């Protein structure tokens, strides 16, 4: 959220180009002035020595030349003395002492070792050092006064963190010639700093006092300037900041600070990711390269939010080919152009527009590309819409997955990863039930194929297509109201990169028929999330923007779960569980698919939902007796229509 830079004026351009020359002339003037002040002083003491000064007038060069050379060698003319540091002062002292020493020794030798002249050069050196040093100090003081006067009336800023980053941030703010911001105070939990001044700015209190002191000091904006904060510390400080009426921004990470010296210009608003009630997930990606490098990789739903991020990450590990498959051409085109722009001709990238519901078309593509890795992200995932369109959900999600599983087995795919959902756990809606049945298809392949089939289950993905975050943002931008189903409803959240890293990690470690789950920490109350998003946008909930509670939509749960059987889940990584599920027989899958197909042909959505829910809940019990009916053969399953839409979730 960098501020708009000011257009340079002719005066500023001139001063910038001639800054070194102007400063050199000023310093030389002070040096020569020091010399003649000492000459006048000595003439009063020793009137008969006028000839001594006239004869040794050339020694002024021994004073000026070393000073000018050393000042440039040490880069002191490139410094902004209004922001001088202890290091700058130390350099200045070294230059002054060194040049004075050269002046004294050179003048003493060339003057015939005249003792009177020796004392004169020492006095001149002391005079020059003092005048130069004081001139820099006076310039600094005058600038400070001018700066404080100029900044009066600007946006009042409080900086959280009086460490190196906070001081650096303060210097950045002060360096803005047209700065419309006025630093008022620091907050720091080091009680030894509380009450002290840093560059004239007081450490007003600890972070526990943010709410009270920001109100008393009329703070407009709080800047969190502690890049090394742990997640828990950041959450605690954010909670206190968000309870004020102030805007809240944060400085970059330590890595970004190294690459961008002006952290004030690169500060950013608090993002929704900052509000997750857990540390970001950082998985070990060393094995990704071994799995992907030199392989042909197919990503279904490659234009969607998850699918496109899969493509971004996969391409980094040097696949032999990357095939992006999607029914929605605009999204597929966007990720194609993004990758081409970034990698150029160095990648083998192919885009195919097709529906996974079309078995024949899928077989043509499998035969053409012979993929070795398949990441299946294509799906209908909108819960309320699928409640009204269960036939499309079954055709696309279930039969589309069935087509891909059969073809992956037939064409010798090494690994197949299904993108599933937390809504597959004890599903109460059509979308979740279709996802659960897709998991069951994966489970049924455990002992039937050389392909390693696995599913990856996670919660809501921040910023994904159709998720609550973009919806809330649009409602806030329109001025409200923000619609929340219930004050008590909770959801698990993860970022898109986290979701994709989990998918890739499951591809590395996955065993046939396994379901992998990410430890997503504590769930988030949607009501709290909505309120924090309103505050981050600069508004006050219930005053500036209303929140309306509309009740659960069709198929929605109050609480989401991630694991079907918590007593049968093993932790294989610090953040990943593998759920031990009962074996699902292939016969059960085929019989259920036959029932789906008959209900679809009858256009009987009520029956379809009944079959779907029965399968989702009774699959593990293998209640085949209840399913034994005389349906048509499953030989032509999978060809259930050519139209449809798959979007990655």
Which residues are part of the catalytic machinery?
Answer: 423
The answer to whether 485 and 553 have CB atoms below 8 angstroms apart is: yes
CA distance 322 to 312: 10
Per-residue DSSP letter, 271: P
CB atoms within 10 A of CB 250: 23
Please report the DSSP string for 500-567 in residue order: HHHHHHHHHH--TTEEEEE---S-EEHHHHHHHHHHHTT--BTTTB-EEE--PPTT--SS--S-S-GG
Q: Output the 3-class SS for 483-496.
A: EECCCCCEECEECH
SS3 state at 354: coil
The answer to whether 378 and 326 have CB atoms below 8 angstroms apart is: yes
Calculate the alpha carbon distances from 570 to 518, 567, 593 in Å: 12, 9, 31
SS3 state at 577: strand
> Which residues are paired to 250 by β-bridges?
224, 268
SS3 state at 646: coil
CB atoms within 10 A of CB 2: 11
CA torsion angle 299 304 307 308 (round to 10)? 100
C-alpha torsion sign, points 604, 609, 612, 618:
negative
∠ at Cα 400 (416, 418), nearest 5°? Answer: 30
Residue appearing with tokens 């234009």: 303
Which is nearest to 446 in space by CA: 476, 405, 387? 405
Tokens of 518: 């990410």
CA distance 414 to 184: 61
Calculate the alpha carbon distances from 25 to 13, 69, 137, 318 in Å: 19, 13, 18, 59
Compute and round to an integer the Cα radius of gyration of the chain: 36
SS3 state at 507: helix
Which is nearest to 595 in space by CA: 555, 622, 626? 626
CA distance 418 to 439: 8
Bridging pattern class, strands 373-376 and 415-419: parallel
Q: Could you tell me which residues come within 8 angstroms of residue 519 by beta carbon, excluding any fewer than 6 positions away? A: 571, 574, 575, 576, 577
SS3 state at 371: coil
Tokens of 67: 């000073």
Tokens of 155: 């946006």
């Amino acid at each position: 959220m960098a501020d708009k830079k000011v257009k340079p004026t002719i005066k500023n351009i001139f001063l910038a180009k001639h800054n070194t020359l102007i400063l050199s002339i000023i310093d030389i003037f002070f040096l020569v002035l020091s010399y003649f002040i000492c000459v006048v002083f000595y003439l009063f003491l020793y009137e008969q020595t006028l000839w001594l000064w006239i004869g040794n007038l050339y020694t002024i060069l021994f004073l000026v030349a070393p000073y000018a050379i050393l000042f440039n060698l040490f880069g002191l003319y490139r410094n902004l003395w209004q922001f001088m540091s202890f290091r700058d002062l130390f350099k200045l002292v070294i230059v002054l002492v060194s040049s004075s020493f050269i002046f004294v020794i050179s003048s003493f030798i060339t003057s015939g070792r005249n003792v009177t002249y020796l004392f004169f050069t020492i006095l001149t050196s002391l005079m020059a050092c003092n005048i130069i040093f004081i001139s820099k100090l006076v310039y600094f003081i005058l600038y400070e006064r001018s700066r404080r006067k100029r900044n009066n009336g600007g946006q009042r800023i409080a900086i959280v963190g009086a460490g190196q980053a906070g001081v650096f941030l303060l210097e950045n703010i002060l360096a803005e010639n047209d700065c419309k911001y006025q630093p008022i105070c620091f907050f720091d939990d080091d009680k030894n700093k509380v009450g002290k001044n840093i560059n004239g700015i007081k450490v007003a209190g600890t972070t526990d006092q943010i709410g009270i002191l920001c109100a008393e000091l009329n703070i407009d904006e709080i800047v969190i300037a502690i890049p090394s904060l742990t997640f828990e510390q950041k959450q605690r400080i954010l909670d206190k900041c968000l309870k004020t009426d102030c805007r809240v921004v944060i400085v970059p990470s330590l890595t970004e600070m190294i690459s961008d010296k002006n952290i004030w210009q690169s500060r950013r608003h608090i993002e929704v990711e900052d509000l997750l009630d857990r540390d970001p997930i950082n998985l070990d990606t060393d094995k990704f390269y071994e799995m992907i490098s030199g392989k042909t990789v197919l990503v279904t739903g490659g234009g969607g939010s998850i699918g496109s991020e899969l493509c971004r990450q996969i391409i980094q590990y040097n696949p032999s080919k990357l095939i992006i498959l999607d029914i929605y051409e605009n999204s597929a085109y966007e990720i194609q152009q993004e990758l081409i722009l970034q990698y150029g001709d160095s990648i083998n990238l192919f885009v195919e527009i097709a529906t996974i519901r079309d078995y024949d078309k899928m077989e043509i593509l499998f035969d053409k590309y012979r993929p070795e890795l398949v990441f299946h992200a294509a799906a209908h995932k909108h819960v309320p819409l699928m409640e009204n369109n269960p036939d499309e959900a079954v055709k696309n999600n279930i039969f589309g997955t069935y087509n891909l599983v059969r073809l992956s087995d037939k064409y010798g795919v090494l690994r197949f990863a299904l993108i599933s959902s937390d809504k597959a756990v004890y599903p109460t809606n059509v979308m979740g039930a279709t996802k659960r049945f897709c998991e069951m298809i994966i489970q049924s392949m455990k002992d039937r194929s050389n392909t390693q089939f696995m599913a990856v289950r996670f919660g809501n993905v921040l910023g994904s297509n159709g998720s609550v975050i973009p919806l809330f943002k649009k409602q806030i931008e329109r001025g409200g109201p923000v619609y929340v189903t219930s004050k008590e409803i909770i959801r698990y959240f993860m970022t898109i990169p986290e979701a994709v890293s989990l998918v890739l990690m499951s591809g590395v470690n996955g065993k046939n028929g396994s379901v992998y789950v990410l430890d997503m920490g504590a769930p988030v109350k949607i009501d709290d999330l909505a309120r924090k998003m309103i505050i981050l946008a600069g508004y006050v909930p219930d005053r500036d923007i209303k929140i309306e509670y509309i009740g659960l939509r069709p198929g929605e749960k109050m609480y989401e779960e991630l694991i079907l059987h918590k007593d049968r889940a093993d932790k294989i990584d610090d953040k990943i569980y593998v759920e031990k599920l009962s074996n699902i027989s292939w016969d059960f899958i085929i019989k259920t698919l036959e029932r789906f197909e008959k209900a679809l042909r009858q256009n009987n959505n009520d029956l379809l939902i009944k079959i779907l829910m029965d399968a989702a809940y009774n699959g593990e019990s293998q209640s085949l007796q209840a399913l034994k009916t005389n349906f048509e053969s499953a030989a032509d399953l999978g060809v259930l229509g050519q139209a449809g839409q798959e979007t990655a979730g």
